[in-house]
Structure 1
């Protein structure tokens, strides 16, 4: 199961990277169009779709690498069971909120598909297509939050080191 989940997080991050490349292509196409006097309709909308997809699909991988911003002011002053209880509470709250967000994201994409909802932009894209990236990213993030909670509950989650000073630029 561990190998599958880690592959899922890595796969979602890889798709997020592809979306980032797509975003770059849309932006460059828009810039070139302005400079060379041509217009490709929908580039702004597709750049937005790519940005949303890449952001949501990268959430789980970012969480699993410990790169999400954490407020550790209180956590650093706790030791032992009090610290573990706070970690469990925080991870439980994150799991619950991410599950709710995943549920409503999937529901939104499904309803957009049922109602044949299309973009109001010039591209007239069926909205369930770009919403699918958000929904899948939210589901994978919910799995990652549940994964972290279970690991903490079982005592298998590694010690959380204060690497903030290492990540500041």
Structure 2
């Protein structure tokens, strides 16, 4: 089980790194488009590529953010109940969230499949095949579903989730 745990943790961190690279790509695209405007050149598709990178950054960051405790999680009720009901509430929350994430991933896959099958292209000047940026949505949604299922299994078996709160990232208002 230790090898599987390390593999999942590696996947979550890798997805977070890829999300950070997407943010750098957004910055680079914006700067390149600004330079192109200043020099009188045209950078076709730059806004579209920045949008694709923004969506990729969002979806790829989901699993890593969950692992690090960066998602908004209302824990007032969970902190107020005794350990027994708290465990049941956490099981219910993770089960519901995992079911929704798997449902989303399933239909996102078919969305990408039909975009690929019908050879859909973007409306911009670049006319990129839409299944390429859409496939990151499936990847990120799948990683989020795996992370939620991972936490659900941990709560069921061990009684506690694997969300690690990063105190440096937390606000002082909590």
Q: TM-score, normalised by structure 1?
A: 0.92
Compared CA separation, residues 145 and 160, structure 1 to 2 (3 A) = closer
Query: What displacement does 1:73 show?
Result: 2.3
- Does the CA-based 8 Å contact 2:122-2:130 persist in structure 1? yes
Compared CA separation, residues 139 and 115, structure 1 to 2 (3 A) = same
Cα deviation per residue 1:7-61 (whole Å; 9 max; x = unaligned)?
1111111221221111111111122222332220000000000000011011001
1:148 matched to 2:151:
yes
The 5 Å alignment of 1:47-62 reads 47-62=50-65
- Name the stretch that deviates more: 30-39 or 110-119: 30-39
Q: Secondary structure at the match of 1:134?
A: helix
Q: What is the CA–CA distance in structure 2 between the aligned matches of 1:50 and 1:145, rounded to whole Å? A: 24
Q: What is the CA–CA distance in structure 1 between the aligned matches of 2:131 and 2:84, rounded to whole Å? A: 45
Give the equivalent residue in structure 1 for 2:140: 137
Compared CA separation, residues 54 and 160, structure 1 to 2 (3 A) = closer
Give the equivalent residue in structure 2 for 1:112: 115
1:16 matched to 2:19:
yes
- Does the CA-based 8 Å contact 2:69-2:164 persist in structure 1? no
Structure 1 segments unaligned to the other structure (5+ residues) = none
Give the equivalent residue in structure 2 for 1:6: 9
1:25 matched to 2:28:
yes
RMSD: 2.1
1:125 matched to 2:119:
no
Q: Secondary structure at the match of 1:53?
A: helix
- Does the CA-based 8 Å contact 2:23-2:54 persist in structure 1? yes
Q: What is the CA–CA distance in structure 1 between the aligned matches of 2:69 and 2:24, rounded to whole Å? A: 24
Q: What is the CA–CA distance in structure 2 between the aligned matches of 1:156 and 1:83, rounded to whole Å? A: 9
Match of 1:95 among 93, 98, 104: 98
Structure 2 segments unaligned to the other structure (5+ residues) = none
- Does the CA-based 8 Å contact 2:121-2:129 persist in structure 1? yes
